[in-house]
Chains A and B, each alone.
Chain A
Amino acid sequence: MTDRLRLTFHVNHEPVDVLVDSSKTLLEVLREDLQLTGTKHGCELGECGTCTVLVDGGPVLSCLLIAAECEGRDVATIEGLAEHGRLHPLQEEFADRGAAQCGYCTPGILLTAKALLDREAHPSRDRIREALSGNLCRCTGYTQIIEAVEAAAARVANADEVPS
């Protein structure tokens, strides 16, 4: 048996305190121990970007990160992207613009895009393409994804500028 490890960290702003196999990756802890299956996997070798989550706000391949490394850190998964029952503008735009076809790469791409928009309010199309280049999508050809990120950026910017 592998060693067990007590892990305390935050997932989607909520404190988590779990005992896990010390060899487990963050992906495995999220999916298997916390049953947060919104985080997907496509290779478990760090090649496809599908398992992307945010750690302290930055995109991370959860299949390559040993969970023990997350002690005390803030992890954001797709389950936490909508807040107070309202979809994030990225989710709204992805839904409206056909940016999710099979939906399997979608959680990872949404989180990668969120990290981008958190850093840059008005990213250019090239910046968006660059930011998403580590996340493979086999369905869409990326075009509708990029358009959705652009539209969401505009929506976030408007919301920031015009208090509702």
Chain B
Amino acid sequence: MTGRRRVVGTPRRRVDARAKVTGQTRFADDLLFPRMLHGKLLRSPHPHARIVRVDTARAAAEPGVHLVLTGASFPIPYGVLPVSHDEHALCPDVVRFVGDPVAAVIAADEATAERALDLIDVEYQPLRTFASPDDSLAHPEPRIHEYGDEGNIHKIVALQFGDVDEAIASADHVFDDVFFFEGSTHLPLEQHACVGLRDPDGKLVLYSATQTPHYVHRALAKTLQLPAAHIRVIATPNGGGFGGKSDPFNHEIVAAKAALLLDRPVKICLTREEVFYCHRGRHPVLMRFRTGVTNDGRITGIDLQTLLDGGSYGSYGVASTFYTGALQTVTYQIPRYRFRGCRVFTNKPPCGPKRGHGTPQSRFGQEVQLDKIAERLHRDPADLRLQIVAPPDSLTANYMRVGTIGLDECIRRVVARSGWTEKFRTLPHGRGVGLACSSYLSGAGLPINWNDLPHSGVQLKLDRSGGVTAFCGATEIGQGSDDVLVACVCEVLGVAPEDVRAVTGDTDLTPVDLGSYSSRVTLMMGNAAVQAAERARTILAEAVAPKLGVPRDRLTFADRRVFDSADPAAGITFQEAVIVAEAAFGTIGTTGSYTPPASAAKFKGGGVGPSPAYSYTAAVVEVEVDPDTGWIAVPRVWIAHDIGQAINPTLARGQVEGSVYMGLGEALMEEQVFRRLPPRLSQALVHKFPSILEYKSPTSLDMPEIVTELVEHPDPAGPFGAKEAGQGPLLPIMPAVANAVYDAVGVRIDEIPITPEKILKALAAKASGKPARTGPDAFPDIRWPEALLVAPPWEGGDGRASNAPRRRSGRKVDAGIEASAGVRR
């Protein structure tokens, strides 16, 4: 059955390419239905206020208005994580950020709905605004939410793997650095949109631009109190997601409810400004790395603290918090490790998962600090990293299981391709190179809703036409998941991509796949697809073998034929094979599913970080910095990504280069930031620039030349050896830029984004004899809980905690937390 691969590994036009280049891909807002109405949400102008009264009478009386809804219609809360069901489709009593929805109008057209919004009278009683983590730490009251670990702290965690204090105290050098990573948003070009309707049987259907139809399905069943089996969620192809369409959203639930009440299709398409309010983007993170290092460049221990500005709701925040400390150990040997993380609520749009989910911020700090370590030890940063790369097939101090690791090869490749050795510390003043590395998950090892069910399922239908249909709940967000599904099926069954139809992201038609997030789809859906296809191949082989008079294990499926591998001329077409099998066994259908292996991390909080396989990346960035203006240009980037095996190298390269692009945006310009309106207005805390024009992102003129290398050593956990490519390659870009700026002009920018202003400030500090640095001064004194103590594997640990810290008095126990994957085991 083995032999040359026909589909996997060959650069190829993606299966949905024609639809995309002809404009025929149907995005949510492209859906038009007879009698369709349009909805608009009324959003709070206050960052934090109690809703005293909502009067909808005037709006309801407006001609063309069909329905006005308020929070009273949505008493049941929801949220993506079971531990933080803290959102309502429309706020019933409190608004928590400028943009929080309080009412909705459904009307004949958008203009009428918008006009009617102005006729809704809402009386607010303003509450104290929490604008920063410092505010939220200093003032436990009023609480933004009635749940959470303490006051306005949503989540505070402490994990310790071995005696870190001893490890750092005994080190030859101790590095103590504070870094800040500003928040940024996904900015998908497609604004969120959805259409709710009743199907002819009266059941609810919701089409939505969502990365996670399964979680939207759950949220609708809960909030609308309908049997899940009577709700159909169809994920339309997403016009970009990047994590921003991974939560169930207000407008989805409102459109669904309105469609049920009115028995007419109801569309809600958000404006660009509203997309900035939906957010769920990168958490602003302040972090402190204390790292012990020996004279020969080995790390003795890392003590990491992170403080996350979570914004106004939970979203994925509990997981995000753990992610800021989960993956430090999978790149380099770190014998002892302590991680303490704290996520606070503030009155801003909620933060959540953006490409890299919680890990890019601390990866930035770690990789910049490694650059400082190399500098102090007079070591080449590439050599230093090569010396401490984590070993393959090993457990880390925090019980992440590293399988294959191509990080050393990634480093060697970018060093060779970039001419690193000739350039580092030798380029003229104003030009520099920087290197950084990273790792990312190929899917989370534990599900969000903790259960023993598969994370991904695939069904195949084969029929006498010779065509194959592959059904899977996975969601096409541009990354090419439909193409991966088809490629995996083709490779096993020996058919061509154009013979396979992918039906995806439809909760009525397709088996559950948890969604397009955490870089899980290629590995999980791919494995499920391979299993389903292998089962189909077995059925076909059983029917074909006697017909050809060939033993089953000698049959090859390739080139749309089934033939004797010993005598390729002896065979039949794939279509004939299906007909033979259908005649022998009846209708041919198979299933496949994938459940990740059990995690080695048995401690509470160990549910975040484990993955069936980790991808690895190394990047070298070259910069040109004008010392007079601080202006930074990036002419070239070299990046090598350990993908295991590229399913479609054209798409894999696109994921890597798209990551470089988005990483450069974060490194140099993208900021989701806020300001106070002047006192003569409301003084409200508002988004500084909720528009594409002023939220700067790189254009085609800003993009460097990118040299992309795919490192392919198949990982046994992945389909055909494949690991992820969509997120990991973003991570090294930001620290590599910072390290390159240091190489160019000798100043440290310990903060993202790196702007000309910050460079000039650091250059000025350097000129006046002060530390040549721009960055945060200190990490606040946080009252951490007692750490959960887990001995590392090499100190006799078994992945369990040796203590069970008592919760501090006054802290509410998180109801249902044990049912959450985010913190289970």
The reply to whether the CB of B477 lies closer than 8 angstroms to some CB of chain A is: yes
A130 touches B701 (CB 8 A): yes
A38 contacts B189, CB within 8 Å?
no
Q: Is the CB of A96 within 8 A of B189?
A: no
CA distance A118 to B699 in the complex (A): 23
A77 within 8 A of B: yes
- For residue B32, CB closer than 8 A to chain A, the reply is yes
Over the window 40-73 of chain A, the binary record of Cβ atoms lying under 8 Å from chain B Cβ atoms (1 yes, 0 no) is 1111110110100000000000000000000000
B265 interfacial by beta-carbon distance below 8 Å: no
Binding site for B on A (CB under 8 A): 31, 35, 37-45, 47-48, 50, 77-79, 81-82, 87, 90-91, 94-98, 100-107, 110, 128-130, 132-146
Whether A110 lies near B21 (C-beta < 8 A) is yes
Determine whether the beta carbon of A139 is less than 8 Å from that of B658: yes
Interface members, chain B 1-58 (any A CB < 8 Å): 13-14, 16-27, 29-30, 32
Cβ A141 vs Cβ B658 within 8 A: yes
A142 CA / B703 CA spacing, docked (Å)? 7
Min Cβ gap B191→A in Å is 7
The answer to whether A144 and B654 touch (CB under 8 A), given A78-B22, A103-B239, is yes
**Of A78, A129, A132, A142, which one neighbours B23 at CB under 8 angstroms?**
A78
Selecting from B417-425, B689-697, B755-763, the interface stretch reads B689-697
Task: For residue A86, give the distance in angstroms from its CB to the closest CB of chain B.
Answer: 11
Let me know if B239 and A87 touch, CB within 8 A. Answer: no
Q: How far is the CB of A151 from chain B (nearest CB, A)?
A: 13
A47-B691, A95-B14, A129-B700 known; 4 new pairs, CB 8 Å cut-off, are: A95-B17, A98-B651, A138-B240, A141-B703
Cβ of A127 to closest chain B Cβ, rounded Å:
11
Are B22 and A133 interface neighbours, CB within 8 A? no
Contact with A along B476-503 (1 / 0, CB 8 A): 0111100000000000000000000000
Could you mark each residue 209-248 of chain B with 1 if its beta carbon is under 8 Å from any beta carbon of chain A, else 0? Answer: 0000000000000000000000000000111111000000
Name the B residues within 8 Å of A50 (CB-CB): 189
A141 touches B650 (CB 8 A): no
- Report whether B692 and A133 are in contact in the complex, using a CB–CB cutoff of 8 Å: no
Q: Measured between C-beta atoms, what is the minimum distance from B713 to chain A in Å?
A: 23
In the assembled complex, B190 has its CB within 8 A of some CB on chain A:
yes
Distance of A50 Cα from B27 Cα, bound (Å)? 14
Interface size class of B (residues with CB under 8 A): 35 or more
* CA of A152 to CA of B58, assembled, Å: 57
Centre residue among A35, A110, A141 by max chain B CB count within 10 A:
A141
10 pairs of A and B residues whose beta carbons are closest in the complex: A38-B23, A102-B478, A104-B239, A103-B20, A141-B661, A78-B23, A95-B17, A37-B30, A141-B657, A91-B21
Residues in A whose Cβ lies below 8 Å from that of B662: 138, 141
Task: Determine if B272 and A44 form an interchain contact, defined as CB atoms under 8 angstroms apart.
Answer: yes
- On whether A102 and B700 interact (CB within 8 A), knowing A42-B191, A87-B18, A141-B657, the answer reads no
Q: A129-B701, A141-B706 are in contact. Are A104 and B657 (CB under 8 A)?
A: no
- Docked pose: A45 CA to B20 CA in angstroms: 24
Q: Mark B167-188, 1 if CB is under 8 A from A, else 0.
A: 0000000000000000000111
Subset of 8 A-B contacts with CB under 8 Å: A31-B30, A40-B239, A79-B23, A98-B650, A104-B478, A136-B699, A140-B657, A141-B706
Flag B344-358 by CB within 8 Å of A: 1 or 0 each: 000000000000000
| A39 and B23 alpha carbons, distance in the complex (Å) | 7
**Residue in chain B with minimal CB distance to A77:** B23
Partner of B190, one of A40, A95, A128: A40
Contact of A42 among B18, B22, B26, B190 (CB under 8 A): B190
Which of B16, B22, B237 sits near A91, CB closer than 8 Å?
B22
Chain B residues 701-727 with CB under 8 Å of chain A are 701, 703, 706
Residue of A nearest to B64 (CB): A1
Q: For residue A91, which residues in chain B have a CB less than 8 angstroms away from its CB? A: 21-22
Q: Contacts A78-B23, A103-B19; is A138 near B242 (CB within 8 Å)?
A: yes
**Among the listed B18, B189, B271, which residue makes an inter-chain contact with A105, where contact means beta carbons less than 8 Å apart?**
B189
Give bound CA distance, A47 to B699, whole Å: 12
Q: Given the complex, which residues of B lie within 8 Å of A81, measured CB to CB?
A: 22-23
The 8 Å CB contact of A103, one of B25, B29, B188, is: B25
The answer on a CB contact under 8 Å between A102 and B237 is yes
Contact of B282 with A by CB under 8 A: no
CB distance from B40 to the nearest CB of A (A): 14
Residues of chain B lying within 8 A (CB to CB) of residue A144: 650, 653-654, 657
Chain A's nearest CB lies how many Å from the CB of B247? 19
* A102 and B22 contacting across the interface, CB-CB below 8 Å: no
Residues of chain B within 8 A of A132, CB atoms compared: 699-700
Chain B residues, CB < 8 A from A134: 699
Residues of A within 8 A of B654 (CB): 98, 101, 139-141, 144
Contact call A98/B700, Cβ cutoff below 8 A: no
Closest B residue to A39 using CB positions: B23
Cβ-closest chain A residue relative to B188: A138
Q: How far is the CA of A95 from the CA of B478 in the complex (A)?
A: 13
Please give the distance in Å from A77's CB to the nearest CB on chain B: 7
Q: Tell me which residues across on chain A come within 8 A of B477, comparing CB atoms.
A: 102
Question: B703 is contacted by which of A31, A96, A103, A143 (Cβ under 8 Å)?
Answer: A143
Q: How far is the CB of A60 from chain B (nearest CB, A)?
A: 16
Q: Does B660 contact A (CB under 8 A)?
A: yes
Q: Which residues of B lie under 8 Å from residue A138 when comparing CB positions?
A: 186-189, 240, 242, 658, 662, 697
**Bound CA–CA A106/B614 (angstroms):** 32
The answer, among B27, B658, B693, for a CB contact under 8 Å with A140, is B658
Q: How many Å from the CB of A58 to the closest CB on chain B? A: 19
Query: Are B657's CB and A45's CB within 8 A?
Result: no
Residue of B nearest to A35 (CB): B32
B700→A142 contact, CB < 8 A: yes
Q: CB-CB < 8 A to B271: which residues of A? A: 44
Asked if A48 and B189 make an inter-chain contact with CB atoms under 8 angstroms apart, the answer reads yes
Would you call A40 and B27 a contact (CB within 8 A)? yes
Tell me, in angstroms, the Cα distance from A132 to B660 when the chains sit together: 19
Judge whether A45 and B701 touch: CB under 8 Å.
Answer: no
B24 to chain A: which residues have CB within 8 Å? 38
Residues of A within 8 A of B701 (CB): 129-130, 133
Known: A38-B24, A42-B692, A98-B654. A139 touches B18 (CB 8 A): no
CA distance A96 to B22 in the complex (A): 13
State the CA gap A106–B18 with chains docked (Å). 11
User: B18 and A136: CB pair below 8 A?
Assistant: no
> Least Cβ distance of B708 to chain A in Å?
8
- Return the contact of A45 from the options B14, B187, B691 (Cβ within 8 A): B691
- B23 near A136 (CB under 8 angstroms)? no
Q: Is the CB of B272 within 8 A of A43?
A: yes
Closest to B705 in A: A143
Determine the residue in chain B with the shortest Cβ distance to A28.
Answer: B110
| Whole-angstrom distance between the Cβ of A156 and the nearest chain B Cβ | 15
**From B269, which residue of chain A is reached at the shortest CB distance?**
A41
- Residues of A near B29 (CB, < 8 A) are 37, 41
Bound together, the chains give a CA A101 to CA B659 distance in angstroms of 13
Q: Could you give, for residues 626-655 of chain B, a 1 whenever the CB lies within 8 Å of some chain A CB and a 0 otherwise?
A: 000000000000000000000000110110
- List chain A residues, Cβ under 8 A from B241: 102
**Least CB separation from A32: chain B residue:** B32
Contact of B692 among A31, A37, A38, A48 (CB under 8 A): A48
Residues on A with beta carbons closer than 8 Å to the beta carbon of B238: 102
How far in angstroms is the closest Cβ of chain B from A134? Answer: 8
> Closest chain B residue to A145 by CB distance?
B700
8 Å CB interface, B551-575 against A? none
Q: How far is the CB of B76 from chain A (nearest CB, A)?
A: 33
CB distance from B709 to the nearest CB of A (A): 14
Contact partners of B32 in chain A: CB under 8 A: 35, 37
Min CB–CB distance B223 → chain A (angstroms): 28
Q: For residue A109, which residue of chain B has the nearest CB?
A: B700
Closest-by-CB residue of B relative to A111 is B23
Shortest A122–chain B CB gap in Å is 18
- When chains A and B are docked, how far (Å) is the Cα of A131 from the Cα of B653? 24
Which of A82, A103, A145 is B478 in contact with, Cβ under 8 Å? A103
